[in-house]
Amino acid sequence: MKKFLFYLLVLTTALPTKIFAQKDEADVSKAVEALRIAMVNADSTALDKLTSEGLTYGHSSALIQTKAEYIHAIISGQNDFTSIDQGDQSVKIFGNTAVVRHTFSANLTSDGKPLTVKIFVLQVWQKQHGDWKLIARQGVKPPVQN
């Protein structure tokens, strides 16, 4: 009987944890997609809602932006995205923090010049007051193929 109660206890604590982790993964994926759409649409309200006040946004060029600088660059047209595709995405949940990796392929006009970008991205999201917020992002260029 003790073994049965032990296994029942393990099952009732482990199963909800797995279910919540799967829900969090789905919610983070939705937030990542909402951020992609907000960037293409230059939607300042959505960008503000999806990003943390302390955002540190790193580009593959080594430029680091604050939340205000990141949003301004998009809504001002400095970086005007016409399309963004994100592939090979993985999401890992660690409590109230999520780590997202994906490839980022985009067509944009940057400082008035057409540009095509393909980089690898690491995003860190944190659950704040029930919503997932981007707290850090770093893009890196793919290695040079010989």
pLDDT digits (tens, 9 = 90+) for 57-97: 999 999 999 999 999 999 999 999 999 999 999 999 999 99
Strand partners for 134: 51, 125
Q: What is the mean pLDDT of residues 108-137?
A: 96
Using one digit for the tens of pLDDT, what is the confidence trace for 13-24?
655 555 556 899
Q: Are 24 and 93 in contact (CB under 8 A)?
A: yes
Q: Where do the domains of the chain lie? A: 2-140
* DSSP H/E element including 61: none
Class of domain 2-140: alpha beta
Residue 68 · residue 52 · CB < 8 Å = no
pTM summary value: 0.85
Higher pLDDT: 55 or 142? It is: 55
